[in-house]
Structure 1
């Protein structure tokens, strides 16, 4: 019997397996998809997450970025990182680096689906493997989470408390550029993301976030000749139609050749009743998700994966829920608060002007998140 079975080889699952192996635990990863795995995401990794991955021995390559810029067509405000640069990394490049590190540590990766899970007081069995514990890192719409009854339906949220937002439609496959319905004005409904790459030299060393009534568009430099553009919105429409809501960005991309297919993810908001069920512990997006608005998904996944491994080593799965909440609460609260303001018609147009008027506060929040 092994110590830990990890379901999913994305950043959360791979980092969990790597840290467990470095801690002397026996680990097996189960992943049904072939590597490298692509996914619709912003592809910007915070400095803290880059440092953590480097300590795990993961060798990353990408394009450094030195802060975040907010723009709304009239206002612009920059917040540069104090601790060090983040890194823009293609998702496939990141996954290949994680898989390379797993191979170097001789961690087996089984090409299989988890399927039904059975457990008792001493072990858990899935995909034909018996382990002391199972780390469920199987994504935003985690089948394991649903199988164990830990998924909570999204309730209609009231307008008064951002904390009620605490808790990605993730197909992560190419989408047609012309098959979606005509766009409409975004409201505070179900948010989804679309991402595409463009062959163009980055025009800044920052991640740019363009704001409009439709939603937000994130531009991340991921190579010397490539940028990724991710749009977050509750409006329906094609990627191209969404870009119409960001005329400044559209001008920047004029003449640039699309370098990847459009990929989608969502609904972003995922509520989870608990992070632990017996000897199964949820990590990464499977453990719950607020929104991609602050771009901290990978950083939070890495921090919580470290806590998961510590709980497995100590044979105290009952400590994981509190540990998960402790290391993720600040990011969840800031993301939920910003999303709450974003969904208020009177507040949304004032977010970027407020950041521009209070650049010190804006820098503090950005650096706190990074």
Structure 2
């Protein structure tokens, strides 16, 4: 992955953070401080249930982001913006980015989410609001950009794709299960690897799953257009990762059936992470790999720009908290991932990039082996 985590990639990450600082300033001044100081109680216990948690934790994450950046004046249980924060919110994009400069494609997408933040803070789901405001076709395009095309997001897709390619290089017949596969970001990325198409001759079967029928339909069309020779070895199935034991009639989900399990940017969305990891270990053959990608939770002032989109969704708050294995809804810290993997029986795993680099490069993944 050294050719992925490069100075150019670092520049993309920092640009995303810089652009977010303008958008979040506008959101804060429009929705949090429009009527003056607001409550700030970072240690308050969040409510139970995804629908109740979402507006509370979304608001809290935005305030934690501003506090970590030193942009709040905190007085007891209330806070107000610093003059610098209020001034930044009044800047035009050209004033903020520089004469003649334009925002990145990702900034243009996030600006759509900016317009629905009021509804999110009122407890509505971000994707539903986008569809109501911009229509299903535009919303699908925005989703595709954030999940597949956005520069920072390419790192985890490449990691998952390279793990798939590396497994096929053994030459042995390989059974793959990809959970929450969406529109096929992993497979799309793998097809760009030299020699991958030829190595798919070693693919015995590929279980391509998601809970969304429409996403799987898009993925099937992609496979038919780009790699039709795999259609007879790919199964498109609707599978709920929180209930993997219910699919004992699916060949690649039986005990010891899979050589490789891939969860590309999906494990943060499950309700019971420990159950999903232990059931995944059951599905893997001895020596099989679990490969999953993530955004590794770090300091709010550095990390929240990469969680903003997901934080607008109800599903992001479904987690059954299980400390110390899982303390946070949504993305986990490296300590949480470590405890979760070890308790699920994955004692041997590798983190990419190194944990020491997660503040600089928050997107990455883990390759874990079943003993």
TM-score normalised by the shorter chain: which range applies?
under 0.3
Q: Which has the higher helix share?
A: 2
Q: Which has the higher strand share?
A: 1
Q: Give the structure with higher Rg (CA).
A: 2
The structure with higher relative contact order (CA 8 Å, sep 6+) is 1
Q: What is the TM-score of this pair, normalised by structure 2?
A: 0.25
Q: What is the TM-score of this pair, normalised by structure 1?
A: 0.25
